[in-house]
Amino acid sequence: MLRNILIYIFLISGTWFIHGNSMAQEQSADVEKCAMAAGSDVTYLKDFVVKLDAAPPNQKPPIYRTSLALRKGVIYRFSICNGDYSEGEAVLRLYDQANMLLSTYYPETGKEYKSISFACQKSAAYTIVISFKDGKKGEAVGILSYVNK
């Protein structure tokens, strides 16, 4: 009986390990694919893997937010890639305190960009916000790269 219980526990833990490992490999492949799409003139610095639920009725859509330090005189490239099963279109925005500096989507013009470069004018903390259009459920990968001179 004890032997059967141990075998059962081993099988369950093995299944969890294999499933968790395949999810990590899939996520890693998505990051690599998005990093390659950023261009051949960049050096990868950081990724932002985002998975957000749909917005509940009459509420603000969920967002992913993180801060990072950027250096004056450096040109950065921000790229955004939707997950294969994402319902919404991902939008990446960069803020300096409360001011939006750039976005991968401008609703006023309908312009949408998969990558956008930013020439940093001041060393400071900046905020990256990733959300999905119309508050839809989605998965995305954001990439921060250094543009080689």
Question: Model confidence over 66-104: pLDDT tens digits?
Answer: 999 999 999 999 999 998 888 989 999 999 988 999 999
Locate 113 and state its tokens. 């960009």
Beta bridge partners of 82: 140
Over range 121-139, report the average pLDDT: 95
Write down the architecture of domain 2-147 according to CATH. Sandwich (2.60)
Over range 7-36, report the average pLDDT: 57
| Cβ proximity of 143 and 50 under 8 Å | no
Q: How much is the pTM?
A: 0.78
Q: Is 70 exceeded by the pLDDT of residue 29?
A: yes
Q: Is 60 exceeded by the pLDDT of residue 21?
A: no
Cα gap 133→130, rounded to integer Å: 10
CB-count burial class (<10 Å; 0-12, 13-18, 19+) for 15: exposed
Instruction: Give pLDDT, residue 2.
Output: 46
